[in-house]
Amino acid sequence: MTKIIFIGQDGSETQVEAHLGDTVMQTAVDNLISGISAECGGGCSCATCHVVVDETWIAEVGPAEDVEKDLLESLDNFSPNSRLCCQIEVTRSLDGLRVSIPA
Amino acid sequence: MSETCIIVGASHAGAQLAASLRQEGWTGRILMLGDEPHLPYNRPPLSKGYMSGEKTFQDILIRHEDAYNRHNIELRLGVTVAAIDRAAKKVVLADGERLAYDKLALCTGARVRRLPNADQENVLYLRTLNDLERIRAHAGEGRRAVVIGGGYIGLETAAALRKFGTKVTVVEAAPRVLARVTAPEMSTFYQRVHAEEGVTIITGARIAGLRGTPRAEAVNFEGGAEIEADFFVVGIGVLPNTELAEAAGLRVDDGIVTDEYARTDDPDIVAAGDCTVHPVKDYGTCRLESVSNAVEQAKAAAATICGKEKPDQSLPWFWSDQFDLKLQMAGLNTDYDRMVLRGDPAEGRSFAAFYLRQGAVIAVDCVNRPSEFVLSKKLIMQRRVIDPAMLADESRPFKEVAA
């Protein structure tokens, strides 16, 4: 199992176990993480699964591209480490990943 | 003593409501009743990536099974609710079993409108996973399909069937596809792209009936013409499932009537999703058929059950994937008095259509324009009056225009 740490809008940390091959969005939804609505179910259509990847992890996770990048850059709370977490697949190399949910 | 909340319905609204109850601090029992035998799943992919085989059933589950166990959400699937006994506060199942509730949530959804006198085995619908499996069993290289209804479900189905190499004809009664929901410019665009992708679209088609039994062989039109096909997919809209609520004496008016807190006229009963008619901020009373509506109303409903007030004031939005077109829509375009185009729908496959009323943007349809979609949501919520020439000016990034 792979651990992922979600940092909520209030700064609280929730550590959860993720299934390999799931998306980080699915992991958040399965664990009732507040602030991840994931309305389009992972279709990269709604931008309601926005997270900011911890600085120490962004190189491993990689940057947003194409549609995801366009959606993110139009959000008020965009930051250089922003990702839609429906587009991040859980792999072994992401064990310990930290992402925060922007206000 | 611990209280029980029963949720009738296990789709988008029900699944969100259960989760939101735990997030809002509900410590009592949560029991979800679903009439389908499956765990709650995302419905939109049925006519999109799941139909075409890009996704598996595990991929489209809203949550994995263990997530319900971990959060102590009980699921009873494949059960039919026969009645609500409000006086006794009990839900009555079809087999007579009576389940007591303290709070009840009606998330009964909608069902497909059926084509009259068309019970043949190859006349198919698309609402549930089982419906989809039947369609997939008929699809294939060289097979011929007639899709009856040129709304989003019909057009998405046509697009997905093309991926199997199926020959597809869409027949629509109105003079144009998507007539109920969008502007003529959008209809023209979608008709062009479907033609380019090999779909035949016939508009203004008055269907007289389907010929053949036990298998339908052709669709007959008024005037005598017919089109033969191997199977038929009907997508002519949905009807809200309001019968339980109505029989229980709750107010129903083309949907279970709720307020912005998802309250019905019974203080112990909330309702959310496609089955409801409710005030939509800035657009009046509506019945919306969408995931975002189901999710947002369910959040409001869960708060209400937990004694909090969190009105649903969300902006309606919708999406549709067909071929390489990612359509994202926000707001409702009812009563628009002007349309402004950014990009040219007559050429290429990327543009945004803004619907204005008295100078303010009230809705937008964005085709392969994710940036315009996100930024327009803000414009719409602010009811910003904006120079149409600026909206249309492609020489400036939209971020500047909307700033």
pLDDT digits (tens, 9 = 90+) for B33-52: 999 999 999 999 999 888 87
- Closest approach of A47 to chain B, Cα-based (Å): 8
- Say how many CA atoms lie within 13 Å of B286 toward its Cβ: 17
Q: A78: nearest CA in chain B?
A: B374
Q: How much is the pLDDT for B205?
A: 96
Q: In the predicted model, is pLDDT for residue A90 greater than 90?
A: yes
Chain B nearest CA to A56, separation (Å): 28
**pLDDT (average), residues B69-73:** 97
pLDDT in tens, B245-290: 999 999 999 999 999 999 999 999 999 999 999 999 999 999 999 9
- Residue B219: count other Cβ atoms within 10 Å of its Cβ: 26
**Smallest CA–CA separation between A59 and chain B, in Å?**
25
Calculated CA dihedral for residues A74, A75, A78, A82, nearest 10 degrees: -90
Per-residue pLDDT tens digits for A34-74: 999 999 999 899 999 999 999 999 999 999 999 999 999 99
Give the pTM.
0.96
DSSP H or E run through A4: strand A2-7
Mean of the per-residue pLDDT values of chain B: 96
pLDDT grade for A99, boundaries at 50, 70 and 90: very high
Q: What are the two backbone dihedrals, phi and then psi, of residue A14, each rounded to the nearest 5 degrees?
A: -125, 120
pLDDT at B67 (0 to 100):
97
In angstroms, rounded to a whole number, what is the distance separating the alpha carbons of residues B253 and B250?
A: 10
**How much is the pLDDT for A49?**
96
**Percent of residues, chain B, with pLDDT higher than 90:** 96
Closest CA to A49 of A80, A79, A15, A23: A23
Q: Place B53 in a pLDDT band, splitting at 50, 70 and 90.
A: confident
How far apart (Å, rounded) are the C-alpha atoms in residues B256 and B273? 10
pLDDT at B55: 86
pLDDT for A1 beyond 90: no
- Among A39, A48, A75, pick the best mutation site for testing chain B contact (most B Cβ within 10 A): A39
In B, what residues contact A, Cβ < 8 A? 19, 22-23, 42, 44-45, 48-49, 59-60, 62-64, 66-67, 70-71, 291-292, 295, 317, 319, 321, 326, 328, 370-371, 373-375, 378, 398-399
Which tokens sit at B246?
């109505």
Place of tokens 């009990």: B90
From chain B, pick out residues whose CB is under 8 angstroms from the CB of A43.
44-45, 48-49, 319, 321
Percent pLDDT > 70 in chain A is 100
Task: Kindly list the residues from chain B whose CB atom is less than 8 angstroms away from the CB atom of residue A73.
Answer: 371, 399
Residue B125 pLDDT greater than 70, yes or no: yes
Cβ–Cβ under 8 Å, residues A82 and A50: yes
Could you give the maximum distance between any two Cα atoms of chain B, in Å? Answer: 68
Contacting B with CB below 8 Å, chain A residues are 19, 26, 29-32, 34, 37, 39-43, 45-47, 67, 70-71, 73-76
Please check the confidence at residue B192 and state whether its pLDDT lies above 90: yes
Q: Which helix (H) or strand (E) holds B195?
A: helix B184-196
Distance (Å) from the alpha carbon of B12 to chain A's nearest alpha carbon? 9
Contact B378 A76 (CB under 8 A): yes
8 Å CB contact of B48 and A43: yes
- From chain A, pick out residues whose CB is under 8 angstroms from the CB of B60: 41
- Closest to A70 (Cβ–Cβ): which among B62, B295, B371? B371
Q: Is the pLDDT reported for residue B300 higher than 90?
A: yes
* Min Cα–Cα distance to chain A from B114, Å: 27
Distance to chain B for A32, nearest Cα, Å: 6
pLDDT at B1: 58
Q: Which residue has the tokens 């609204």?
A: B13
pLDDT of residue B51: 85
Q: A71, B326: Cβ pair inside 8 Å?
A: no
User: Which pLDDT score, from 0 to 100, does residue A64 have?
Assistant: 96
Helix (H) or strand (E) holding B65: helix B65-70
| Chain-chain contact of B44 with A39 (C-beta, under 8 angstroms) | no
Closest chain B residue to the Cα of A26, Cα to Cα: B63
